[in-house]
Structure formats: C-alpha cells, structure tokens
Amino acid sequence: MSMWQLKLRPALILSGMLLAGPVIQAQSVAPSLFIADSSIRTATDSAGIRFSAPLPALTQIPGAPEPFYTHLWDFGDGHFSTEASPQHNYADGKEYDVYLYAVNNYDDGKKPARKKIKVTGKGNNNNLASVSTAEKDFFKANGVFELKYNCMAKPNDTMVLLAGWKNTGTAEDEGKLYLFLNEKVFEQTCFENVGANKGFRFFNNGDSLAPGSPGLMAGLEPGKQLKITESGSPPSSVVRVLNAAEASNTFLSTMMLYKSSYMIELGKTAPGAAHFALAELKVTPEMIRDTNATVTVTGVYVPKNGNPVMHRLNIPVVNSHDPNKMNLKGGRLGYRFLSKHKELTYKVRFQNTGKGPARRIALDITVPGILDPQTVAVKDVSPFCPPCQPGAEKRGCWELEQKERGLLFTLHGIYLPGTNQKGIEDKDSTKGFMEFSIVTKKKLDPVPFNARTAIYFDKNEPILTNYATGRFKKSLSPIVMAGFEKAWGKERVSDGLVTGVGIAPLAPFRPFLQFELYYRQGIRTNAGNYVLDRAGVIPVEGRKELVYNKIDSSVTNRVSQVKLIPVQLRHNFGNYFSAGAGISVTADMGGEIETGLTYQGISANGTSDRYQQQRSEKIKAFSHIRLQPFMDLQLGKVKLGPHLGVRYYYNSKNTGYGFLYAGWRF
C-alpha cells in the first residue's frame, strides 16, 4: 500500500479522555492565598500565575543525546501547557488542583513522580482563561478531535492521555465520545484505569462517563461522512473519509477489536470552542514482553450536528523514554496461519534535539536478510514530503536507496526544528517518522528477527535506535497419528493398527518435549506353546475317560492397551526432518487370558485320539505395566502439517516392534 492510501486496520486509539472547558466546582478562597503541598513553586503578577518546579538532575545514557525533560502541566480548569515554566491566567477566582507530569528523556533514572499543588485563580474582567501554544497547536490531524500522550508506554509506569475536541460548527453542540482500550490481539492487559472515575478527569459542564459497557454505535445518517485520522506524535498525513454504509462496518469492527470500551456523554460546547481532558493510565508490568510493540487506543467523537471523527493513537511500548525509536507493528506473530509472503510494517520515529533545525535526515536501516528490499512501500512520512523524482533537484522530498543489508531513507531539504531551538514551544514540531512496509522472501522461520536504524541529522554523529524485534507467539500444536505396528520375536504382540494423539509446542526451533497417548484394541498376544510328554487319565464327557501320553498347551492374551509417552525429547532439523527419543509406558486396559489344553492318547481300539479343553480369565485394568525406550524419525512438514514417521520400541526380553505411522500437526 502506498503512502497515499490509508490501510484500514482495527483501530486502537489512545484513551481519549475527553474534553473539557474551564469550569470546576470548588470553594473559593482568598485571591492571593496559595496552599502548596509539593515542590511546585508559584509566583503571581498581573498576567496570572507563573508555575515552576525543581526536578532531579539528569544522567545521560552513554552514547545517547543530551538528556532533557518534557513537561505537561494540568492547570485544573481544562487548560494545559507543555512549557517548563508556564504562566496561566484563570477565568474565575476559584480553587484549582494543578498537576505536573515530567518525563526524563535519554535519562537512565526513574521518571519523577507526579507533582500537585492547590492554587486560587485571580479571575479577570473578560472571564476568559489564557490559552497555551500547545492548545493552539493541538488539532493537527483533522482539526476536530485528537488524542495525544505525554510519554510512550513504559511497563509498570503511568502515562497521561490527553484528548481534545472542537466545535467547528456555527451553533452550540453536544454529543458522545467512544473510547476503546486494550486490544484483543494482546493476551495481557495493556492499560489499567487508576484513580477515581476510572482515571478520567472531565472539566466541561455536562461531561460524564456512562455506566457499564456502551452498546453498539449507531450508524450514520444518510449524507454524513466519517473521517479517520491517525497519529503517534506527530500525526499522520493520511486522512480517510468513509460514507455512511462504510462507516457502520468500521464502527462494528472497531468495537470487536478491544476488551475495554467506554462512552462519555458530552455537555454543550459553544461554536469555535475547544475542550480538553486528562486521564492517567497505568501500563501493566506484563507489557514488558512487548517492548517492541505498538499498541493503539481508538476514539470516536460523534457530535449531535456535525460529522463524526475517528482518531487512532499509536503508542510504542518502550523500556526507556527515548524519542528515537523503531517499531514493528504487530511484532508478535502467529506461526500457524502465517502466509508465505508476509507484509511487515516498520515505523522509525525521530526527534531533533539540537539547537537549530535539521535540513537533511538519513535513516540507515538494517533489516533481516529474509526481507525483500524490492517490495518496500512508503506508507507515510513526517515531515510530509513527496518522493524525489529522477533527475530533479533533491529538495523537500525523500529518497530510498537499497543497500546490501538494508535500506537508506534520506529526507532532503526539509525543515525539522530542534527542541533547544529558540522560539520552539511545540515539541511535536521537532519530531518526525518514516513508516514503510516490506514483504518476506519466503515463510518466516519461527525464530526472532531484528531490525535497527542509525539516524543522521545533517552531518552529526548517528543516533542508534533500539532493535525492533519480531517474535512468534507461544502456542501449542495438537497432533493426530495413526499407523501400523509390526512385532519381532517369539513372545510377540500381534501386528495391527494403532491410533493416537499428542501435544507439543507450535513450530519450536529449539529441542522440545512432546506428549503422546495411544490406544489399541483387540491385541492378540501369543504368550507360549508347550508340549509335555506325560501319561495320565482325564475324564471326558460322554464317555468314561481318556488315557493320554502327551499334552499340548497354548496361552493367548486378547487385550486392549493404552500407551503413554510421558517423556520424549525431539528436535526439528529444518522444516522437513525431525528426530526424537523417549520412554513409553504401556498398560493393559482389559481383555482375557485364553488357555488351551490338548490331550493326546491312544483309544482302546488302537487309534489316535485327542481331547481339547479351553479356559479363560479376565485381565484387570491397568495391569501388566511396562516401560519401553524408543527412537523416532519423521519426514514431512514436521513443524506444521502432514508427516510420516517410523519408530522402534525395545523390549527387555530381546524383542521389539516397529511403528510406521502418519501424523498431522495442527
């Protein structure tokens, strides 16, 4: 898919804790009184209240750029700022709870704890609160509804989600907001709601979280359209618009992709007004296994009068707060239904932390040899620019060079501000990304594979990203088997058919254990034939007696058997050959022992005579338990699919038997 198209995928959008406007119900106190309960410092003047806070010294990670803090100030009235020391003028002389969330970037220390202070606003003659630069620059994706985060998702840490929506109509409006968290594709829960009101903080009058799980979103009215946008800081340049029929299917498919869903009733919003809301979510410790993954939170804003907007917020799961990051979307793969030519999507994020703008950015990407560089397709890029044209001047465009062991993307003649550049307050403007897809040359082996990027800003030394690792989900593979047993030796078991089942890890690339269980019914075992030269007399029905001089004795067992393979160590040598060895435990499940006696003698008239006598005895269940070592070889699709096998069991009485079988791994 090209960068000019949007791949409609189940969405996920950052918890759009929505909206808010400046109104909080609280007791007012003396205008000049500040009650501090943390290290936040305040200073008041005619322009409002100036906030600042001392933070721990940063420790630079070896080889990383200079560390720095990013800030998110929640002023408690529905307004916020990302400046280090912002100034805010409240509309009303009320008491507000102010929070500071600071994030340490390129630092190997712990993120500072949330800071809080209570302040009392002075109010102003206009009854209007001041609006920060971050608020003005918020709606970059679609101009109506957007979700953002203050930091990437670090396991066992907290993350602040910020949502905003804007009434672009000419009349007062209200509506609903649907939020979807915790994608079903991840077995573990990604986010947990913490605090009161399930972590959401609303500021606008009339906003409330509906109890219980929301029902299905209603379809669009004829003539209305659904706009779909996406971001991951910064926003994507791709926008998709769906008609009413297409939107209904998208609503349903989106809801089915998530474990957690919420509906928020939105209060009235004046024309042109924008509202914001904050919420804290905890990233669960279990997400540590997916620190190369990208999770998505999806929000759908449905105004009463205007067109609805769906926004998807992609959130990388990280080990540390590093703006330069490489991710593989859907990095935990399932082997069972993996296609031969699998399309993988990578995203490289970068941020200019310098004191001036970057005009040329090069992404030197090392990819696994199993990927085909001829199949690369750029899906999106920021700063947005078209591909360079052959023979034309390379300005404001991107270029792709295919290398022996990777790819080289170069953005020529662009302008990416630095975080330390004078006059830059919008930190999102210092970030960019390159998103591209690439197809595998053949079906992937079920082993981890890595990719990495060296990022060059102009002529500076490269910054190395993390390894974007693709892994396969652990799963079990059921096995069915059926075959024919052939015995050797004197006291042998009769030949016959055997059926069984097994269980093993799915497509392992290391030695593994496999469990099996077999059943065989109606086995005939010749336990022995004996001839005794012995004279005697035996009563015979219908006549007086028989004088015999020889006895032929035979013992035959007719049993049903169960065979358990509790211990078997196997290893797959490639895709088509496997070997294993183990111990089997065999037990008789029922049947009978048949004993036949034939008495041979001479009748009174001198002719040969015989008399046969049959006896039977029931066999107890789970009797005659025995252990048998074995060796096994398999040919075929030994990781997944049909295969043929041959096995040899050894008995302690110098006898044994072979097992030729066919199996199928699911």
How is 598-630 classified by DSSP, letter by letter? Answer: EEEEE-TTS-EEEEEEEEEEEEPTTEEEEEEEE
Tokens of 472: 């396969």
Cβ(396)–Cβ(381) under 8 Å? no
664 CB burial (10 A radius; 0-12, 13-18, 19+) = middle
Cβ(190)–Cβ(182) under 8 Å? yes
Task: Please state the separation of Cα 392 from the chain's center in Å.
Answer: 43
Ordered alpha helix ranges (H), 515-612: none
Tell me what the mean pLDDT of segment 487-497 comes to.
Answer: 65
Q: Return the SS3 of 125.
A: coil
Main-chain phi, psi angles of 134, to 5 degrees: -60, -35
- The average confidence (pLDDT) of the chain is 84
Does the pLDDT at position 29 exceed 60? Answer: no
Does the pLDDT at position 382 exceed 60? Answer: yes
Which H or E run contains 56? none
What confidence tier does 531 reach under pLDDT thresholds 50, 70, 90?
low
**Distance from C-alpha of 338 to C-alpha of 64, rounded to nearest angstrom:** 37
Tokens of 165: 């929506």
Tell me what the mean pLDDT of segment 312-336 comes to.
Answer: 88
Q: Can you count the helices (H) and strands (E) in the chain?
A: 2, 41
Does the pLDDT at position 185 exceed 60? Answer: yes
Q: Report which DSSP code applies to 22.
A: S
Does the pLDDT at position 606 exceed 70? Answer: no
CB atoms within 10 A of CB 69: 17
**Distance from C-alpha of 382 to C-alpha of 414, rounded to nearest angstrom:** 10
More confident residue, 339 or 577: 577
**Distance from C-alpha of 67 to C-alpha of 454, rounded to nearest angstrom:** 18
Tell me what the mean pLDDT of segment 405-425 comes to.
Answer: 91
**Distance from C-alpha of 202 to C-alpha of 280, rounded to nearest angstrom:** 12
Which H or E run contains 552? strand 546-572
**Distance from C-alpha of 472 to C-alpha of 527, rounded to nearest angstrom:** 51
What confidence tier does 660 reach under pLDDT thresholds 50, 70, 90?
very high
Does the pLDDT at position 9 exceed 60? Answer: no
Cβ(373)–Cβ(322) under 8 Å? no
Does the pLDDT at position 10 exceed 70? Answer: no
The pLDDT assigned to 21 comes to 35
Does the pLDDT at position 510 exceed 60? Answer: yes
Bridge partner list, 518 = 500, 563
Q: Is pTM beyond 0.85 here?
A: no
Domains, the chain, ranges and CATH?
1-22+131-287 (no CATH), 25-128 (2.60.40.10), 325-471 (2.60.40.740), 476-665 (2.40.160)
Does the pLDDT at position 337 exceed 80? Answer: yes
Tell me what the mean pLDDT of segment 374-387 comes to.
Answer: 94
Place of tokens 């606008």: 204
Tell me what the mean pLDDT of segment 624-635 comes to.
Answer: 92
Tokens of 18: 């929505």
More confident residue, 545 or 418: 418
Place of tokens 């065999």: 586
More confident residue, 423 or 460: 460
**Distance from C-alpha of 404 to C-alpha of 441, rounded to nearest angstrom:** 15
Q: Report which DSSP code applies to 31.
A: T
Which H or E run contains 230? strand 226-231
CB atoms within 10 A of CB 512: 17
CB atoms within 10 A of CB 135: 18
The pLDDT assigned to 624 comes to 77
The pLDDT assigned to 533 comes to 67
The pLDDT assigned to 526 comes to 62
Q: Which of 147, 472, 469, 153 is nearest to 326 (CA)?
A: 469
